[in-house]
Structure 1
Amino acid sequence: MLRVAKLSLQKWPGRALDALNSAISGIVFALLDLLDFILCFFYRFVDGVLEENPIPCYCYHNRGKQGILDVEEEEEEVSETLYERRNFFRQMDLLSLKERSHGGGEGGGGGKLRSSRWSDCGCESCVSWQGKGEEKLHLVVREPSQARSISQNVSPENVVFIHGFLSSSSFWTQTVFPYLSEATTLHFRMFALDLLGFGRSPKPLNCLYRVKEHREMIETSVIEQFRLKSFHIVAHSMGCIIALALASKYPESVKSITLVAPPYFPSNEMKQCYTPLNKLAGRKVWPPLLLASSIMSWYEHLGRTVCFLFCRNHLIWEWIIGSITRRRDLNFLVRDMTQHTHHSAWHTMHNVICGGAKLQDKYLEVVKRAGISLRIIHGDKDQVVPVECSHNMKSKVPFADLQILNDADHNTVIVGREKSFSRDLEKFWLYSGI
């Protein structure tokens, strides 16, 4: 009994801190609810003045569609988290304006839409895709040695790299491409892409950025354009969901899959998409990273304001940071965080990370049945995607090779160990090709 009492006393400081965190979080998020509620009026008014065909928000739209759907139907749907995020002031129904004459947040509705909003950045790098005739993803392609391919008439191995949320192809061109061995550069053709809505890829407004749209753009821009018959996939974070969708569509063509920090949350609940939202963006003020994720994930208008201040003015911020650090070239991780619009990031967050949660088990079943070589890598200090996600995926696919790296977080699982990571990839590709 004394031992139990002693253990209770030891746990008391932690419980007290948790209670304090919950109390402060309740107050802070009540204020954020109010602020987002007010910003809803602001953006509705300004959009109506500055935009010919304004995009409605999701604040007062009731999707009204229930039931269990198959994979194809679910991919056509948008995540419930877009419509049903709790907000104290919306729940009070203070406005009683659910009859929106312009519809309810269907990614822009009908009609012709401009490619950017007044709150988006219009610099050359952000809108360069608009001048192209057809909408395809921005790619960085590293071709194998032409001399070897011609002399031996051997088709190269192909690898498709898919980045995570708020990132771009630079994540791979900076961490893997420079560290590949000479033998790999002779045998392999590398494709690093900017996902739809990120980097230099198209960021259309009349798009919901579901898993389906992301996968189809990769099909069009990479698989069909370069006529890939077989390929390996390497993906990080959110990109892992899209990678599994791609593999489930082409199980006979995918030779191996490497997933780094996959956000996988198995659940039997009807509203499975709420699991990643609550796990990755729980409404807490501590730690700070969780607070930032919560603001950007729960609050449509606060998130748009953050994008308006930082993404729209990224050239100014890059100049300020460069002046302070005295560096001409910013770190790619910093630069990539602003290369998106609020529309593309907001919908991708909810429709891929949250909405994709109810699709991943079906994707993994296809991978499992096809016997595709699967490798999972995760850092034990990851505060963005908990390491339990990879353990859960390993339980789902027992033959998967799971590697947990000590003292590595969401980015340092690769960044800082680029050479060893690249060598491990090469070994896995060689093993999978046998």
Structure 2
Amino acid sequence: MPKFSATFMAKRGVTRAADFIITLLSFIVFLVLDFLDALLCVLYRFMDAFLEGTTSCYCSSSPPAGEKSDELSETLRRRKNVFRRGILGAFGFTHHFAAGIKNARGGGGRGKNRWSDCGCESCVSWMKKGNDLRLHFVVREPSKGDIDGKEGAENVIFLHGFIASSSFWTQTVFPNLSEDSRQKYRLFAVDLLGFGKSPKPMDCLYTIRDHIEMIERTVIIPFQLKSFHLVAHSMGCVVAVALAANYSKSVKSITLIAPPYFPCSGEDNASVTALEKLAARRVWPPLLFGSAFMSWYEHLGRCVCFLFCRNHRAWERILKLITRRDLHFLVADMTRHTHHSAWHSMHNVICGGAKVMDEYLETLRICGVKMKVIQGSKDQVVPLECSSNMKMKVGDNAEVKVIANADHSSVVVGREEEFTRDLEQFWASITTSDNVA
């Protein structure tokens, strides 16, 4: 027993020492990043004003006159930065100078592609369609069989997660459907607004309402969907829950994979709490550091997008030459967005969703909508507590399944057949219960 106790105490001491080192290193690294991001704010104000006639960013703690704040996340303006006020104060003339450039150019430029975004044909082709924007989506119609054409098929809408696209579903679930499901279901895999091949407008703030309205305009209304199942991953779960609450009488079931849900309990700073839990300012593990880097630093994150997203064609060619094979869809999707679309979706959907998820889930609980929640036990992006939080909120209407040794992506990717069978069984159970009722 003494030997075991000594070993335990030694491991505990090592763990504490490692945590102290990580905490200290995190403080130093993020202090430097705070300084760099504040400096870059000055640079981008000049560049934007000179090249576009715009000077927009969220470095000011107070919103400008006319900004609608009811659907915007507090995290846009309440991110900590110890240098921002001092540097912007020292370079206060930049605001007036940039405004002068903007006025000289006549402002505007919002409807055009941003100078730091990719301008290739595939990235800007949607601009030629005018104001009647539609999302890119892939539809898989039911094969001929016992089902009476499209009218007799059940509809399923798939929503992907952050920095992903419809490929997340078309490359995993679609090819692994059983023959019975191929005849019964009509599948819609959507590229959410700002991602994949969907429009990425600069005059959009990518709120939950914006995402829902585009799904309605693209799929639900044109295809006259009177009922449908929903399947969503990560960020898509927030959009799916909101969409389901709006269509509570039409939704047959909801499958949520790794949903970022934190009960707000009436907190005024629920969005900030969500940001701190999903993107804690720590250098380890690396995935968490990457999330914090892109979520806390508007201008540093824009630099990353300028280097990689804007030049995605060059990087894709380089990677293909190195690997001598086509890029995996997860890799290709990482650059198919703009900083503007990703930044606002992260804050207004994932963080901002913390303010409204309780209300949406309560609506679904009252309506008795069946829900299945799936998450990997080693998910380093969304805390495992999120799934249990949802179970506690929804109650008996929610079933939670934790996949051992799976992370945020491998909960689906790498176990496609098993995941698809799980989906089919859940859909079948809903159909059976409906028939019994």
TM-score, length of structure 1 as denominator length: 0.91
Aligned twin of 1:120: 117
- The one-character-per-residue Cα deviations of 1:187-214 (angstroms, maximum 9, x if unpaired) are 1100000000001111001111011100
Confirm or deny: 8 A CA contact 1:137 1:194 kept in the other structure: yes
Aligned twin of 1:376: 373
User: Given the alignment of the two structures, is residue 89 of structure 1 paired with residue 83 of structure 2, yes or no?
Assistant: yes
Tell me, what secondary structure is at the counterpart of 2:371? strand
Tell me, what secondary structure is at the counterpart of 2:268? coil
Confirm or deny: 8 A CA contact 1:128 1:200 kept in the other structure: no
Return the match for 1:355 from 348, 352, 357.
352
Deviation at residue 92 of structure 1 after TM alignment: 3.6
Confirm or deny: 8 A CA contact 1:211 1:242 kept in the other structure: yes
Distance (Å, rounded) in 1 between the aligned partners of 2:429 and 2:370 = 9
Aligned twin of 1:289: 287
Return the match for 2:217 from 216, 220, 230.
220
Aligned twin of 1:29: 30
Deviation at residue 244 of structure 1 after TM alignment: 0.2
Aligned twin of 1:414: 412
Aligned twin of 1:364: 361
- The one-character-per-residue Cα deviations of 1:368-416 (angstroms, maximum 9, x if unpaired) are 0010110000000101111111011111112111100001000010011
User: Given the alignment of the two structures, is residue 197 of structure 1 paired with residue 194 of structure 2, yes or no?
Assistant: yes
**CA separation of 1:202/1:339 partners in 2, compared to 1, >3 Å: closer, same or farther?**
same
Aligned twin of 2:60: 60
Aligned twin of 1:70: none
Confirm or deny: 8 A CA contact 1:61 1:98 kept in the other structure: no
Aligned twin of 2:141: 143
User: Given the alignment of the two structures, is residue 181 of structure 1 paired with residue 178 of structure 2, yes or no?
Assistant: yes
Tell me, what secondary structure is at the counterpart of 2:203? coil
Confirm or deny: 8 A CA contact 2:54 2:108 kept in the other structure: no
Confirm or deny: 8 A CA contact 2:142 2:183 kept in the other structure: yes
Of all paired residues, the percent bearing the same amino acid is 56
**CA separation of 1:401/1:296 partners in 2, compared to 1, >3 Å: closer, same or farther?**
same
User: Given the alignment of the two structures, is residue 80 of structure 1 paired with residue 74 of structure 2, yes or no?
Assistant: yes
Which residue type is aligned with residue 116 of structure 1?
A: N
Deviation at residue 278 of structure 1 after TM alignment: 0.8
Which residue type is aligned with residue 275 of structure 1?
A: T
Deviation at residue 7 of structure 1 after TM alignment: 5.4
Distance (Å, rounded) in 1 between the aligned partners of 2:115 and 2:300 = 16
Aligned twin of 1:38: 39
Distance (Å, rounded) in 1 between the aligned partners of 2:93 and 2:25 = 32
Deviation at residue 290 of structure 1 after TM alignment: 1.1
Confirm or deny: 8 A CA contact 1:273 1:356 kept in the other structure: yes
Which residue type is aligned with residue 34 of structure 2?
A: D
Deviation at residue 420 of structure 1 after TM alignment: 1.0
Tell me, what secondary structure is at the counterpart of 1:301? helix
Which residue type is aligned with residue 45 of structure 1?
A: F
Distance (Å, rounded) in 1 between the aligned partners of 2:18 and 2:371 = 40
Confirm or deny: 8 A CA contact 2:45 2:95 kept in the other structure: no
- The one-character-per-residue Cα deviations of 1:314-373 (angstroms, maximum 9, x if unpaired) are 11111111111111x210000000000000000000000101111111110011001011
Aligned twin of 1:165: 162
User: Given the alignment of the two structures, is residue 261 of structure 1 paired with residue 258 of structure 2, yes or no?
Assistant: yes
Deviation at residue 115 of structure 1 after TM alignment: 3.4
User: Given the alignment of the two structures, is residue 426 of structure 1 paired with residue 424 of structure 2, yes or no?
Assistant: yes
Which residue type is aligned with residue 80 of structure 1?
A: E
Confirm or deny: 8 A CA contact 1:121 1:311 kept in the other structure: yes
Confirm or deny: 8 A CA contact 1:264 1:393 kept in the other structure: yes
Structure 2: unaligned runs, 5 residues or longer: 100-106, 433-437
Tell me, what secondary structure is at the counterpart of 2:135? coil
How do 1:270-349 and structure 2 match up within 5 A? 270-327=268-325, 329-349=326-346
Deviation at residue 259 of structure 1 after TM alignment: 0.2
Tell me, what secondary structure is at the counterpart of 2:362? helix
Distance (Å, rounded) in 2 between the aligned partners of 1:98 and 1:209 = 31
Distance (Å, rounded) in 2 between the aligned partners of 1:259 and 1:221 = 22
Return the match for 2:400 from 396, 399, 402.
402
Which residue type is aligned with residue 282 of structure 1?
A: A
Distance (Å, rounded) in 1 between the aligned partners of 2:64 and 2:45 = 23
Tell me, what secondary structure is at the counterpart of 1:192? strand
Deviation at residue 77 of structure 1 after TM alignment: 2.1
- The one-character-per-residue Cα deviations of 1:45-74 (angstroms, maximum 9, x if unpaired) are 1111111x3141110141399xxxxxxx98
- The one-character-per-residue Cα deviations of 1:96-149 (angstroms, maximum 9, x if unpaired) are 74996799xxxxxx9562331010001122112112242011010001125655
Aligned twin of 1:19: 20
Tell me, what secondary structure is at the counterpart of 1:273? helix
TM-score, length of structure 2 as denominator length: 0.90
Confirm or deny: 8 A CA contact 2:116 2:310 kept in the other structure: yes
Larger displacement relative to structure 2 (338-347 or 154-163): 154-163
Distance (Å, rounded) in 1 between the aligned partners of 2:145 and 2:127 = 36
Aligned twin of 2:239: 242
The alignment's C-alpha RMSD in Å is 2.3
Distance (Å, rounded) in 1 between the aligned partners of 2:279 and 2:58 = 19
Tell me, what secondary structure is at the counterpart of 1:226? coil
Deviation at residue 89 of structure 1 after TM alignment: 0.6
Confirm or deny: 8 A CA contact 1:60 1:98 kept in the other structure: no
Which residue type is aligned with residue 163 of structure 2?
A: L
